[in-house]
Amino acid sequence: MADPVNLVAIVLAAGQGKRMRSGLPKVLHRLAGRPLVQHVLDTVRGLGASDTLVVVGYGADRVRAETDADVRWVLQDEQLGTGHAVAQALPFVDENAITLVLYGDVPLISASTLSACAAAAGDGALAVVTAEVDDPAELGRIRRSAAGEIEAIVEFSDASPEERTIREINTGIMALRAGELKELLAEVEPANSQGEYYLTDVVSQAVARGIPVAGVRVSDPDEARGVNDRVELAALERIYQRREARRLLLGGAGMADPERVEIRGEVTAGEDCFIDINVVLAGRVKLGAGVRLGAGVVIEDSVLGDGVEVEPHTVVQGAKVAAGCRLGPFARIRPGTELGEDVRIGNFVETKKARLGRGTKASHLAYLGDAELGEECNVGAGTVTCNYDGENKHRTEVGDDVFLGTNSSLVAPLEVESGAFIAAGSTITAKVERGELAVERSKQRNIKGWTRPGRRKGKE
């Protein structure tokens, strides 16, 4: 490309998506946990566009609220077609900018394809991204002349039987200088089977005016896939998941079955990780080298250090887990948990906003919330931090090498100093100092000569 051109992206997201049969606007349906339109916006972010305009209409407020992007919103009150949608945004675009049009329901389009499209438009053409597919279904067909030049895009519902055999399709993505696009769109009429203003009609208009039309082929036809119904969405989800699994496998992570791992976010995995079946990784997840995730584990927005082992059916959210920890099975690690090296969290243990120092163990049945425990502590089964008084949350602070006996209730705010020992069954309400033994329970009485109740006659 010669000069750096001013690039503006227009993303179409105003349609209802009737074939989804859903109250949710189509572009908000989720692919790998993110709304369809979010995928498009995330890809656009890398292009260096000076402005991104998103055309919304059906469920506009919801689309605005549920997407995360620095964009300008344009309202299309009535959805009169893709050409009409683009026309709503063009008044906000500088005439000389290269306008890149994207569809909110074509989420896998790659940044490299988009750059190639913008570059072709920068050279003065109307650039149209096309794909050669095995099953062109009901997509718009690219009609070429005998010499191979693009002549027109023919929508499926308007196509002749012969045109329907064409396997090169319109992805919906195109680019042109804004001024020219404006002029071409002004001539588009809704003279077609659907009575809509088709963006695709600008192609034949461009040909008529002698504007060169450049076809930009996607390298992978899957990029071109759109979502019109839930079958297509499910197919896209599979494609996405296979790509992600492949990426992790190539990076050195092993998987029991790459078809049964779900990746819904930005996930990185170190070498020699092992991921068992039905694991869900969501949000930002970083797995160190040699991490092992058991069957049915869910990890969300968390960092796991080298060699961490997570046993089956454990849920980890918003946590930092240092190297060598062992979690689960059936543990629940909630946001704000920070575990030092070699911590052991066993079955039916819940942690929330809790920091546990190196080597501390809570092997079974405990709740540690709003708590800080030092190194090498032992948390007995049934230990509970009583952090909530019905109105406010309070903190529990425990030093190093503390023994919390079975069934201790730690009523916060509370401090237990290093080396202290809490006897089983104690309800601790006052500070325990260094090295002390705290016992809070009534003395055991053994009643001699006691007779056990006999079974009453006639009772089963």
What minimum distance in Å lies between the beta carbon of 194 and ligand UD1? 8
Task: State the binding string over 177-206 for ligand UD1 (x if CB under 6 A, else -).
Answer: ---------------------xxx------
User: Could you tell me the CA-to-CA distances from 257 to 39, 245, 282, 289 in Å, in that order?
Assistant: 26, 9, 18, 19
Please give the helix or strand (H or E) that residue 372 lies within, else none: strand 361-373
Q: How far apart are CA 95 and CA 176, in angstroms?
A: 10
- Residue with smallest beta-carbon separation from ligand UD1: 140
CA torsion through residues 62, 67, 68, 73, sign: negative
Residue from 57, 81, 107, 226 in contact with Ca ion (CB under 5 A): 226
Collapsing DSSP to helix, strand or coil, 5 comes out as coil
The one of Ca ion, ligand UD1, none whose footprint includes residue 84, by CB under 5 to 8 A per kind, is ligand UD1
Residue from 7, 9, 10, 15 in contact with ligand UD1 (CB under 6 A): 15
228 binds ligand UD1 (CB under 6 A): yes
Query: Residue 457: exposed, middle, or buried by beta-carbon count in 10 A (0-12, 13-18, 19+)?
Result: exposed
Residue from 38, 43, 113, 170 in contact with ligand UD1 (CB under 6 A): 170
67 binds ligand UD1 (CB under 6 A): no
What minimum distance in Å lies between the beta carbon of 31 and Ca ion? 14
105 binds Ca ion (CB under 5 A): yes
Q: Please answer whether residues 380 and 394 qualify as being in contact, where contact means their C-beta atoms are separated by less than 8 angstroms.
A: no
Q: Please answer whether residues 254 and 272 qualify as being in contact, where contact means their C-beta atoms are separated by less than 8 angstroms.
A: yes
Tokens of residue 372, six digits: 């800080």
The stretches of 187-264 forming alpha helices (DSSP H) are: 202-209, 230-250
52 binds ligand UD1 (CB under 6 A): no
Pairing assessment for the beta strands 150-154 and 141-144 based on DSSP bridges:
antiparallel
Residue from 29, 39, 84, 344 in contact with ligand UD1 (CB under 6 A): 84
Q: What amino acid positions are annotated as catalytic residues? A: 364
Beta bridge partners of 116: none
Location of structure tokens 């090169």: 168
What minimum distance in Å lies between the beta carbon of 76 and ligand UD1? 5
Q: Which segment (102-110, 119-127, 312-320, 412-420) binds ligand UD1 by CB under 6 A?
A: 102-110
Chain residues in the site for ligand UD1 (CB under 6 A): 12-15, 27, 55, 76, 79-82, 84-85, 103-106, 139-140, 153, 155, 169-172, 198-200, 226, 228
